Amino acid sequence: MKKIPKNQNQRSFYFNEYNQNLFNEKKNNNLNINQDRVYVLFFIFFCLIFIFAVKIFFVSLKTYDSENYLKSYNNFKPLRNDIVDRNGDYIARNIPVYHVAIKPNLIKDKKKFIIKLKLFDTTLDYKKIENKLKKNSYFYLKKNLTLDEKNKFWSLGEKGLIFETTQTRIYPHKNLFSHVIGQIDIDNNGISGIEKFYDTELKKNDNQSIHLSLDTNLQYLIREELLKSISTFQSKGAASLLMDINTGEILSLISLPDYNLNSRQDLKDKNFTNKITKGVFELGSIFKTFTLALAIEDDLYSPSTIIKNIPDKIQCSKFTINEHDEMPSDLTLKEILVRSSNIGTIKVARSLGEDKLRNFLEDLNLLNKINLELDEIGSPLKFLWNKCKLETVSYGHGITTTPLQAASAYASISNGGVVVNPTLIKNKTMNSKTKRIVSLKTSKNINNMLREVVVSADGTASLAEVNGYYVGGKTGTANKNINGEYTSKKLTSFISVFPTNNPEYLLLTLIDEPKPAPELVYNYRGKKISGIHRNESGWNSAYVAGKIIEKIGPILAINKNDFYDNYVVKKSD
């Protein structure tokens, strides 16, 4: 047998050694790759931690802006635009709110859940909640929560509490603007007032607010005085209108009783009617001003013309018309207005004739429906001009209109003779051409006569005088016609303009069925008197107007330095 060389035996040795080294080399290479991966992952992880740390640091330095948070929260966009007053204060706006509901099947311990709720809110009806929890059906716990209220419920940490985001219409001033703003229904549609009239504009979601001519401060002060008057004179209601006599902008409109706009109500009681715009009344002697203004405008009489042989009563058809108080037989035209003479006014009207008086009242827009940015507008009752209609209409009996129309007519006569179109919108551009109803001369004469109604010893509105404001006006007292019959119940009104030597404002006050206030102490022509058992306009509506002007006069003068310098006189003067 042939011998194998030694070097051939070595071949297997070297082969084994080579394979072992190769294996060790592969093992080391794998280990190095794994280590590289760890280093890369560690580096990435470190970078992420650094980024988050920097982000947290800068977020902690940022001031929390709750207002901007609310604006962007859930991309909130109001379903209706805002309504603001003339100063930009909110009257109506939409805000985000939250409903909190309960899913009973997500609550593990219902007894414990009830205990937690009781500690949190004691106002809930827990018997109802327990019954609903037993039924295991989804139900609402509370609706229209603010963000803070919602967060308090969320802090309970219960999975069974479900939060829904929605929005609601709020009215920060509650009752203050109820008869102007009106209401919306559950489907976000305006159903009355400004909400209805401007429903399309308010739904545009273009952040264009409706700017009203009303002033919140004036509205509040006037409402407070009217509420006092209802208590003092135990009346059924009261109302007022404050207007810029030159622009027609309505600065305040109140009708009482009113209601809270935040609580949707189905108002069927007629006493909640807007008495200023919707109420149609016989307003009595305030119509005498129109009759006498026409007589002066037609140059039939001047304020100093004496009307002679005025009887105490006259017969008209089958009716007898009397004076309300004893009068002299001879009166000037001015004295007829100052004393509010029925028969004297009739004599003037007869000299004018039916056609002229009717046309003048139509030009003053007293016989037809007036335009305003509300649907709640009343229409004067139609009547035939026959028998004694000329006579009765001349002094305000047997003719109806709305207080808004009467106020607008007075503004047109007192502002220099230019027809005024009332509006609830600030800086509204009027499309109608300027129309003159009486001359500047006639306007000044009427204003002087209205001033005498307040300051004359024979005037019917002495209680409306407010030192320094040169108040003028005319009282009106009418027996209410209910179901076609005149009753002893009265409606009193007073329309005032001030300052009469350069009129800026008109204030109408109205009291529905006032009673005498014998316990009230009046400041009557510088004397304190009480025990008065009368309920004509001079003893209530004129009195309330004086109280209102005293309160709002300084506010109206804030931005009118010339008004203060020229018309507001110190009591010591």
Asked if 87 contacts 79 with a C-beta cutoff of 8 angstroms, the reply is no
Specify the pLDDT at position 13: 40
165-216 per-position pLDDT tens digit:
888 899 999 999 999 999 998 888 999 999 999 999 999 888 899 999 999 9
Q: Say what percent of the chain tops pLDDT 90.
A: 62
* Model confidence pLDDT, tens digit, residues 77-119: 788 999 999 999 999 999 888 999 999 888 888 888 888 888 8
Position with higher pLDDT, 79 vs 38: 79
Q: Which CATH class is domain 79-116+131-211?
A: alpha beta
Q: Where are the beta strands (DSSP E) in 499-533?
A: 505-512, 522-524, 527-529
CATH for 218-567, options being 3.30.590.20, 3.40.710.10, 3.40.50.300, 3.40.50.720: 3.40.710.10
Mean pLDDT of the chain: 87
Q: Is 238 left (phi over 0), alpha (psi -120 to 50) or beta?
A: beta
Lowest mean pLDDT among 78-82, 190-194, 447-451, 507-511: 78-82
Structure tokens at 246: 């030159």
Q: What residues have CB less than 8 Å from 28, skipping those under 6 apart?
A: none
Beta bridge partners of 473: 496
CB 462 within 8 A of CB 252: no
DSSP 8-state secondary structure symbol assigned to residue 314? E
Q: What percent of the chain has pLDDT over 70?
A: 87
Tell me how crowded residue 189 is: count the other CB atoms within 10 A of its CB: 13
Which residues does 86 contact at the CB level (< 8 Å), separation at least 6?
A: 211, 212, 213, 214, 215, 249, 251, 426
Per-residue pLDDT, 125 = 87
When pLDDT is averaged across residues 492-518 and rounded to a whole number, the result is 96
User: Beta-carbon neighbour count of residue 319 at 10 Å?
Assistant: 13
Asked if 214 contacts 86 with a C-beta cutoff of 8 angstroms, the reply is yes
Instruction: State yes or no: pLDDT of 371 exceeds 90.
Output: yes
**Peptide bond before residue 257 is cis, with ω within 30 degrees of 0:** yes
| 440-455 helix and 288-297 helix, angle to the nearest 10 degrees | 140
pLDDT(41) > 90: no
Q: Which comes out higher in pLDDT, residue 277 or 266? A: 277
Domain definitions of the chain by residue range: 79-116+131-211, 218-567
Given this model, what pLDDT does residue 26 score?
52
Which residues are CB-contacts of 503 (< 8 A; sequence separation ≥ 6)?
245, 414, 415, 447, 497
Say if residues 414 and 245 touch (Cβ distance below 8 Å): yes
Q: How far apart are CA 430 and CA 439, in angstroms?
A: 21
Going by their DSSP bridges, the two strands 83-84 and 210-211 should be labelled as parallel
pLDDT of amino acid 368: 94
Strand, coil or helix: 139: strand
Q: Which of 70-84, 388-402, 553-567 has the highest mean pLDDT?
A: 388-402
- Tens of pLDDT, residues 521-564: 999 988 999 999 999 999 999 999 999 999 999 999 855 544 44
| Res. 67: pLDDT tops 70 | no
pLDDT value for 116: 84
Tokens describing residue 484: 């076609």
- What mean pLDDT comes out for the span 154-167? 87
Strand stretches in 45-138, DSSP E? 83-84, 90-102
What's the token pair of residue 98?
Answer: 């939250």
Give the model's confidence band at 430: pLDDT under 50 very low, under 70 low, under 90 confident, else very high: low
- Going by pLDDT thresholds of 50, 70 and 90, the confidence category of residue 44 is confident
Most confident of 1-10, 144-153, 448-457: 448-457
Q: Look at residue 166 in the predicted model and tell me its pLDDT.
A: 85
Write down the residue that tokens 């207080």 correspond to. Answer: 403
pLDDT band at 61; cut points 50, 70, 90: low
Tell me the three state secondary structure of residue 562. Answer: helix
- List of residues 6+ apart from 500 with CB closer than 8 A: 414, 447, 448, 450, 451, 470, 471, 472
Which carries the bigger pLDDT value, residue 200 or residue 70?
200
Residue 228 has pLDDT above 70, yes or no: yes
Q: What SS3 state is found at 184?
A: strand
How many of the other CB atoms lie within 10 Å of CB of 2?
A: 4
Average pLDDT value for residue range 265-286: 90
Confidence band of 22 (pLDDT split at 50, 70, 90): very low
- The SS3 assignment for 446 reads helix
Q: Mean pLDDT, to the nearest integer, of 381-399?
A: 92
- Note the pLDDT tens digit of each residue in 320-369: 999 988 899 999 999 999 999 999 999 999 999 999 999 999 999 999 99
Query: Interior CA angle at 422 toward 416 and 427, to 5°?
Result: 95
pLDDT computed for residue 59 by the predictor: 64
Mean pLDDT score, 217-228: 97
CB–CB of 160/140 below 8 Å? no
Of the listed ranges 72-76, 295-299, 474-478, the least confidently predicted one is 72-76
The pLDDT value recorded for residue 549 is 97
Is the Cβ–Cβ distance between 193 and 181 less than 8 Å? yes
pLDDT band at 134 (very low <50, low <70, confident <90, very high): confident
More confident residue, 402 or 78: 402
DSSP letter (8 states) at residue 296: H
Which structure tokens are listed for 267? 């108002």
Running DSSP on this structure, what letter comes out for residue 5? P
Rounded-to-integer distance, Cα 426 and Cα 250, Å: 9
For residues 224-251, average pLDDT: 97
